[in-house]
């Protein structure tokens, strides 16, 4: 997902991954690196780009990167807690 503001030339690149809990850090680094060239190119064109890999473990663990994004985009505490609970529940459901 990409959120952007042409007025402020600010963009957020958000990508969700659902790893095993022991692979959260590796997944974060892999996704961060995936978009580093795009962020560099955007920077050269005057944009500030924030890359937010977010992880919700396949057994319901919500990584700090996910809560960090929600705080960064100013989700209120009550809504943040509900969002985390919903993400955790959705990740645990069997398809």
Per-residue pLDDT tens over the stretch 3-27: 999 999 999 999 988 878 788 888 8
Which tokens sit at 88?
């955790």
DSSP state of 69: H
Domain tally, the chain: 1
CA 60 distance to own-chain centroid? 16
The answer to whether the CB of 7 falls within 8 A of the CB of 27 is no
What confidence score (pLDDT) does residue 63 get? 87
What confidence score (pLDDT) does residue 94 get? 58
- Domain residue limits at 54: 2-92
Q: pLDDT below 70 — which residues of the chain?
A: 94-95
């Amino acid at each position: 997902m990409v959120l952007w503001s042409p007025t402020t030339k600010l963009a957020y690149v958000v990508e969700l991954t659902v790893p095993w809990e022991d692979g959260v850090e590796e997944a974060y680094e892999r996704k961060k690196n995936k978009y580093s060239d795009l962020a560099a190119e955007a920077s050269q064109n005057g944009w500030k780009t924030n890359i937010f890999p977010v992880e919700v473990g396949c057994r319901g663990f919500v990584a700090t990167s996910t809560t960090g994004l929600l705080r960064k985009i100013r989700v209120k505490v009550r809504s943040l807690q509900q969002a985390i609970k919903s993400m955790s529940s959705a990740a645990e459901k069997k398809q």
